[in-house]
Structure 1
Amino acid sequence: MTELIAGRAGRAGNATPGQSPGAAAPPGRDGSQTGSGRRTASGRGVLLIVCAGVVLVNLDLFVVNVALPQIAHDLGEKNLGTLSWVLNGYAVVYAALLVFFGRLADRYRRDLGFLLGVGIFTLASAACAAATNVEMLIGFRLAQAAGAALVTPTSLGLVLAAHSAERRQGAVRAWTAVGGMAAAVGPVIGGLLVTASWRWVFLINIPVGVAALVVGWRRLPHLAGQPVERPDPVGVVLATGGVGLLTVGLVRGGDWGWSSATALATLVGAAVLLGLFAAHCVTSRNPLVHPDLFTSRAFTGASLVAVLFSASFAAMLLSLVLWVQGHWGWSALRAGLAIAPGPLMVPLISFGAAAALIARFGPGAVMAAGSALFGGGVAWWALSVGEQPNYVTGVLGGMLLTGAGVGLTLPTLMAAAASSLPAQSFATGSAVINMIRQIGFVLGVAVVVAVLGDGSVGADVSLHVFRQAWWVTAGLALAGILPAVVLLRRPSRSSPPAGPALPRQR
């Protein structure tokens, strides 16, 4: 892969004198003409192109949720713990490879890395649609995740490099809002597609991916890599193994028994590997994640909010879909439409109110308010949902509140983290915050499975148990208020936030 990304390096570089190679001069409003006559996209054009890839990646995180019952029936697999790996396997590999691929993206051409990631994701989507058993589907989902892990840091790196410092926060909020809306609307689109076949939740990716490849190849600017070292494989192995064992322990712990030797050994092994990973990052000359990133209060605060909010987000979507389909007997289409008001709130809040609120109160206060709204929406379900279906009083209010919470929190935390990054770490730093988000998604799904029990899809889990799951989900979101308020300060009005000056590695 590194050879392909490095491939056309001789033509890479639109940087102006005095700029670092990876931080090319932002394209003009109407695009710029290269020496070879190739017309590149403007900053807004770059954002539009990479958002196609962002939609693919984030949509696929949750579009499969509403398809799980049909996948279970069609492929003959009823165990929720096994089926959860269709979701968790994707999220584990995605999270584990993000920083590794982010480091590669900082070293090599980001535009080629983005196109390679989209290509892998598109081919894997076609393979998922052709799967004949759950094991094949999980395997192809892992390939999808590898492509997604390359798309995410390269896309955000392209956005950061294509915009001037004063415009980066707005561009990152737009990038994140599109991704958050795609993730939240996943169940809606999934519900529509599943009426034809669950295979369409994967086939729909193919035309979008092909379009992104064609336009991206012709219009994305050539951005040369930074002079950083190759990523250390030791850190990659430790991070992948630690996150994987942690997820296995949480998903299977209820089935094994939390006090059983297997469960304890799995969780202790995860703690050891993650501890070794942290120690490796602190002591290594070439760490996978540079510890100086976390000397920034903005980056650290956004990271803590990200893991808690993402866990709550994933738990919310999965638990609600399981309830309305399994207990109220709603179809996948009806379940998707029931969720639709939440995603519709995301762009309204993110583009309509978030920027003004951040300017007046600061990002910490906005994230805290968003976390409170999200937690309040999930608590609504714990208090209002009953055995008999009642959408208006039982679901709608909570859906509107959670959508508003997503619109305030996700774009703001991503902008706060990205604006603290130095130019030589655009891709790596954005990969770190996205890795943290994906770990949160994995934990959220695992928590729901642990609370509901490792039974079968559609099993008779009581309303009382679902209410417990919703209270836990609300608690995760509300816990994010503390780091948002304590660690994130109102930004200076005179200058954009400065990030840690990471040393360049050769």
Structure 2
Amino acid sequence: MNVPVAPEDPSPRPPAGAPLPAGNPSLDSQGSRPGLVLAIVSIGVLLSSLDLFIVNVALPDMAADFGGADIAGLSWVLNAYAIVFAALLVPAGRLGDRSGTPNAFLLGLALFVLGSALCATAWDVGSLVAFRVIQAIGGAILTPTSLGLVLAATPAERRPTAVRLWVAFGGLGAALGPVLGGVLVEFGWRWVFLVNVPIGVIALIAGVRKLPKPAGGGGRFPDLVGALLLAAGIGAFVLALVQGADWGWSSTGTLGAFAVAVLAGTGFVFSSARHPSPVVDPELLRIPNFALMVTNGILFNMAFGAMLLSFVLWSQEVWDWSALRSGLAVAPGPLVVPIVAILAGKLIARIGPGPVIALGGTAFAAGLLWWATALTLEPNYAAGGLGGMLLTGLGVGLTLPTSFATGTGALPPHRFATGSAVLSMSRQIGLAIGVALFVLVLGSAADPQTTLDAFQRGWYVIAGVAFLAGLVGLAARLPRPVDAKPAPAQQAKLRKTRRD
């Protein structure tokens, strides 16, 4: 697979005669091909991203197959995956940095494939939720370690392009979830999970044979207490957001979950300050653009998650479309994403990442405003829905890959997996907040006109969030990659060159 590289990629290039970047010291990357590494790991990223969204359209069929199980119980098929996935991203990335990302990635992919196969055999809601947890653990391990592999195998000057492609696969999987889910449900809901197995096995075999071998990670073992506190804090926070609408925002369960999140988060901060090898090194937040892109990731994905939910709800509940037809209506947006992600490299070279991210947030907000002003109670996809879908796809293609490339551009090699995990976690938190925010704004409508007013109000709110994300990203600057020191032989050669 030949991965296209934007020739105007803005990353600083090493001076003539300088040694090549050493890359990730935990990998033996000799002979590794960056395009092949990207192709292998992107399969895992695509599958894990798909499973965050693909299951939604299958819930009614699952309810019928499980003897009329209620939606409240089935909602945990979605929530369990989202909570565990978000909670384990950073600890998994930290362990991947220590143990060597190829082994960690292959372990995560194997667990994800196993969980998918088990989900297809589930006999009741409880067993399906348990098997979804196995899927989520695998997805949480493979996601940050996959980007660590891409960054380690790719020369520094080509990393922004590789990261944009990596993020484009994840965004494509998230947006195509309803489309593929609608098609597979026609053959039975179990195919939603079975489809992962052959694809995952092929990626697993290719990974064992072709991914660069670890040379031993080493280093101190990460703070296990901090990892548990972080997992508990993120898990409780996402749980409160996901269940708040059902439990009630002032209920004991919701307030208790928020309290656990605050206490666990406070404990995590204290643990990180005292431990010699914290899960999230405070130095990460001082790396250029990193904290800025974490903030942008939360805000933009709030709008992204709310947008996907809003259109699926609108098409199925208001226009009374089938799951398959609704999924196909979403398709034009994600089809734009990879094309825009590749072309964005040329635009970044001209104007920098900040304006590109701001342009993406503005385009995304424009798509939502399009829906707010053009959609009517009568189905009119060509006139009202398509334009907004294309504009939101343009916004995703400009924003998500550029934000990730900018946030990871100055990470040191020994923090590739952890840094990308923090950025991925910010995306998951944003998605959960966005869904909860849209449901809160939508409320419960009693008649068609009230429904239209509620959706319009929701689109105005999330358009404002998308525009705010663009304003935050406007401050981003071109990162300067930080690589490991050259190998001893390269250092000696460089010293000799300088003496001469």
TM-score range, shorter chain: 0.7 to 0.9
1:433 maps to a residue whose letter is L
Deviation of 1:266 (Å)? 2.9
Distance 1:476 1:113 in 2: 35
Higher deviation after alignment, 255-264 or 287-296: 255-264
Inter-CA distance 460–212: structure 2 relative to 1 (3 Å threshold): farther
Deviation of 1:412 (Å)? 0.5
- Are 1:77 and 2:69 matched, yes or no? yes
**Identity, % of aligned pairs?**
49
Distance 2:20 2:154 in 1: 17
Tell me what 2:5 maps to: none
Distance 1:63 1:173 in 2: 23
Please tell me whether the aligned partners of residues 176 and 411 of structure 1 are also in contact (alpha carbons under 8 angstroms): yes
Distance 2:349 2:150 in 1: 22
Tell me what 1:124 maps to: 115
479, 485, 492: which one pairs with 2:474? 485
Higher deviation after alignment, 193-202 or 381-390: 381-390
**Runs (5+) with no aligned partner, structure 1:** 1-15, 33-40, 502-506
Tell me what 1:156 maps to: 147
287, 296, 319: which one pairs with 2:278? 287
- 1:201-252 CA-partner distances (Å, limit 9, x unpaired): 1111011011011111111110224332212122222222222222232233
Tell me what 2:80 maps to: 89
Distance 2:34 2:50 in 1: 24
Deviation of 1:450 (Å)? 3.5
- 1:439-487 CA-partner distances (Å, limit 9, x unpaired): 22222233334344599xxx9982333333323322322221232123x
Tell me what 2:462 maps to: 473
Residue 217 of structure 2: SS of its match in structure 1? Answer: coil
Please tell me whether the aligned partners of residues 110 and 225 of structure 1 are also in contact (alpha carbons under 8 angstroms): no
Deviation of 1:24 (Å)? 4.5
- 1:347-380 CA-partner distances (Å, limit 9, x unpaired): 12111x2001111111111111111111221222
Tell me what 1:426 maps to: 416
Tell me what 1:397 maps to: 387
Distance 1:24 1:255 in 2: 47
Inter-CA distance 461–185: structure 2 relative to 1 (3 Å threshold): farther
Tell me what 1:277 maps to: 268
Residue 285 of structure 1: SS of its match in structure 2? Answer: coil
Deviation of 1:23 (Å)? 5.5
Inter-CA distance 71–443: structure 2 relative to 1 (3 Å threshold): farther
Residue 320 of structure 2: SS of its match in structure 1? Answer: coil
Inter-CA distance 375–17: structure 2 relative to 1 (3 Å threshold): closer
Distance 1:131 1:386 in 2: 41
Deviation of 1:338 (Å)? 0.4
431, 435, 438: which one pairs with 2:425? 435
TM-score between the two structures when normalised by the length of structure 1: 0.85
Tell me what 2:46 maps to: 55
Please tell me whether the aligned partners of residues 411 and 481 of structure 2 are also in contact (alpha carbons under 8 angstroms): no
Deviation of 1:159 (Å)? 0.8
Residue 297 of structure 1: SS of its match in structure 2? Answer: coil
Please tell me whether the aligned partners of residues 108 and 225 of structure 1 are also in contact (alpha carbons under 8 angstroms): yes
1:466 maps to a residue whose letter is F
Inter-CA distance 160–138: structure 2 relative to 1 (3 Å threshold): same
TM-score between the two structures when normalised by the length of structure 2: 0.86
Tell me what 1:407 maps to: 397
22, 25, 49: which one pairs with 2:25? 22
Tell me what 1:142 maps to: 133
Deviation of 1:164 (Å)? 1.2
Tell me what 1:385 maps to: 375
How many pairs does the alignment contain? 464
State the Cα RMSD in Å.
Answer: 2.6
1:165 maps to a residue whose letter is A
Please tell me whether the aligned partners of residues 24 and 152 of structure 2 are also in contact (alpha carbons under 8 angstroms): no
Higher deviation after alignment, 155-164 or 323-332: 323-332
Distance 2:359 2:23 in 1: 37
Inter-CA distance 412–225: structure 2 relative to 1 (3 Å threshold): farther
Please tell me whether the aligned partners of residues 364 and 395 of structure 2 are also in contact (alpha carbons under 8 angstroms): yes
Deviation of 1:296 (Å)? 2.0
Please tell me whether the aligned partners of residues 26 and 163 of structure 1 are also in contact (alpha carbons under 8 angstroms): no
Tell me what 2:438 maps to: 448
Inter-CA distance 215–89: structure 2 relative to 1 (3 Å threshold): same
Distance 1:275 1:230 in 2: 22
Tell me what 1:36 maps to: none
Distance 2:380 2:344 in 1: 32
Distance 1:153 1:335 in 2: 31
Alignment of structure 1 residues 23-422 onto 2, 5 Å = 24=27, 26-27=29-30, 32=31, 41-75=32-66, 76-79=68-71, 82-351=73-342, 353-422=343-412
- 1:126-180 CA-partner distances (Å, limit 9, x unpaired): 1112223333222211111100111112211111111111111111111111221
